[in-house]
């Protein structure tokens, strides 16, 4: 499903002659195809989301390193916006906090690593690990 959406976006970018969008979509489609070749099967949406979110993370890190080269920064930011369109809507801190409370309540777990694992399974692809880590750390310190 998500793979098809990316492919449709590729066609649209070609029709619109949007070079930045086209480059970003082609690159992520190539990453997906390579992963499918490695796995010898078609990827599920959750796996495609992991690939896209990893690419967004890499590009954001690249933007940080390119500070001062505004032409490159602007292009990378545009590519990040395109890639973020393929990701599920990100959860806010409040929503993550509710999930953390639920996990701690249901499991009775107090170990940071175990709580993180359980929370990340529930919010997979919809929240960044850094934000989840901060919320879990705060909740475990308070209670």
pLDDT attached to residue 143:
59
pLDDT attached to residue 26:
95
Using alpha carbons only, what angle is made at residue 32 by residues 3 and 96, rounded to the nearest 5 degrees? 75
Q: Tokens 């940071």 appear where?
A: 112
Per-residue pLDDT of the chain (143 residues; tens, 9 = 90+): 888 999 999 999 999 999 999 999 999 999 999 999 999 999 988 889 889 989 999 999 999 998 888 888 999 999 999 999 988 888 888 888 888 888 888 888 788 888 888 888 888 778 878 888 888 888 888 65
What is the CATH code for 2-84?
1.10.1510.10
Contact in structure between 50 and 125 (CB atoms under 8 Å): yes
Handedness of CA 106, 108, 109, 110 (dihedral sign): positive
Look at the domain 93-142 and name its fold: Arc Repressor Mutant, subunit A (1.10.10)
Residue 143, SS3? coil
Provide the residue ranges of all domains of the chain, joining segments of one domain with +: 2-84, 93-142
pLDDT attached to residue 128:
79
Structure token digits, residue 75: 């292009």
Q: What is the pTM of this model?
A: 0.73
């Amino acid at each position: 499903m998500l793979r098809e959406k990316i492919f449709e976006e590729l066609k649209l970018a070609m029709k619109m002659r949007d070079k930045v969008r086209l480059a970003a979509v082609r690159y992520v489609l190539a990453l997906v195809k390579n992963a499918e070749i490695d796995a010898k099967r078609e990827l599920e949406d959750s796996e495609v989301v992991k690939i896209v979110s990893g690419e967004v993370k890499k590009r954001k890190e690249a933007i940080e390193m390119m500070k001062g080269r505004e032409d490159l920064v602007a292009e990378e930011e545009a590519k990040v916006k395109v890639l973020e369109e393929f990701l599920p809507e990100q959860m806010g801190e409040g929503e993550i906090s509710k999930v953390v409370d639920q996990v701690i309540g249901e499991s009775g777990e107090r170990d940071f690593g175990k709580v993180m694992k359980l929370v990340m399974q529930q919010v997979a692809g919809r929240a960044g690990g850094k934000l989840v880590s901060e919320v879990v750390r705060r909740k475990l310190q308070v209670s």
